[in-house]
Amino acid sequence: MRRPRRGRLVRGPRRGRRRRRREAPGGARPQRQARRPAGDARRLPGGGLVRFVSGRHARHVCIVVQNLPVPFDRRVWLECRALRAAGYEVSVVCPQGKDEQGKGDPSYQELDGVHLFKYRPFPPITRKVMFLAEYAYSILATLVLLARAWRRQPFGIVQVCNPPDVLWAAVLPFRVLFGVRMVFDHHDLCPELYRSRFGDEPSLPYRALLLAERITYRLSAHVIATNDSYRRVALERGGKRPADVTVVRTGPDPDRMRRGEPDEALRRGYDHLLVYLGVMGPQDGVDLALRAMHHIVHVRGRTDIALTLIGDGDAGAQLRRLATELGLDGYVEFTGRAPDELVTRLFSTADIGLSPDPTNPLNDVSTMNKTMEYMAFELPVVAFDLVETRVSAQDAADYAEPNRVEDYADTILDLLADDVRRKQMGAVGRRRVEDVLAWRHQIPPYVGVYDRLTGS
């Protein structure tokens, strides 16, 4: 009878049929393969052999943000500082900003131990078709700077901050080749943002944004939601498991944001000062704030009130023209993006902080960072009556009927007429920040996401 070749299946009774063991040299039984340590090869759910970055590189987090420079993006800067304090290495890829003299940021700088890699921002968008060009440019610029950050020191996790929801395309090569994991820090609902700006829900661009959002969710090891409304979207529309979604609100830092001595020169000779801080896009309601000022000045006849607008955005140039058209050049000042020192002096001088965000599909479920920053400086807030704004401000704000300019203007005037109530509302807001909303209350869940992912 012919002997079976070594390693082949030996035919015999069915019950006892088995494959012969291969013997190691010397006749010893081979040892079971040890579990792969972190850093060895493994397979991702979608297939493809990759190698996880291990050791100290796994604790290097690279944060990607496209719509704002850092540290002007206050949420991202707070996250950077929290990770650094927890012992993580942190890099950031973002667009360049400009200082108060209009000088652009350097392409690389190290600030408080955070490595900032910056690219030239895309020009402001005025047409829908330009979104495609902006997205393509952002992906390419982000990919180039991610490679530059990788050359300086490999990273184990990339935190992608939206908008837009296409930056996963820049992270994908690092995920496939090196096993870099992605965390999605969900700042804005991009499909709702599109509807808020253009209003045509059934359109192809809207469906494409939904697809991009689903891909971002699918590729993310974890999702960080800014409030419970966003968490519901991640669970229901994104299909994420509850354990893979963490709510981290953008709470202000009350130790750094504190009302100081007023600078009367910032009132520019007026009795009362209103202030706005934030992005100036078509959906942010700054145009409504200007129209409310027109109602205050030219309809109500109140020429003792000034408005200072801090920030910039896609609609910045249009808003400056609108202020001129409304006859507000003497009453409204645009500072552009201002340093923290100027913001502190303005907030310490102002009487009311404005949150003029109108009701729309995006704002109805979004948390407004500026509202909580006003509260940290004991500024009473005037806002339109939106769900998440009430969750944040509660009794620290007065609420106007959504999108009604006249009601918003009259709410401002009613509050300016009551000094005692303004002071009480400011105290309520400050106390709520310290007890509930402060960033220090958000640090444990935020850092905990990375501790779990890195096994720290």
**Cβ partners under 8 Å of residue 207, min gap 6:** none
Prediction pTM value: 0.77
The pLDDT value recorded for residue 203 is 81
CB 95 within 8 A of CB 123: no
Which structural domains are found in the chain, ordered by start?
50-251+440-454 (3.40.50.2000), 264-437 (3.40.50.2000)
The pLDDT value recorded for residue 424 is 98
The pLDDT value recorded for residue 194 is 86
For residues 53 and 44, give the distance between their C-alpha atoms in angstroms, rounded to a whole number.
14
* Average pLDDT, consecutive stretches of 10 residues, N- to C-terminus, the chain (456 residues): 46 45 48 44 41 68 95 92 97 88 86 97 74 90 98 97 95 96 96 83 84 97 96 97 96 91 97 96 93 98 98 92 97 93 97 97 92 97 96 97 98 98 98 96 97 92
CB 250 within 8 A of CB 76: no
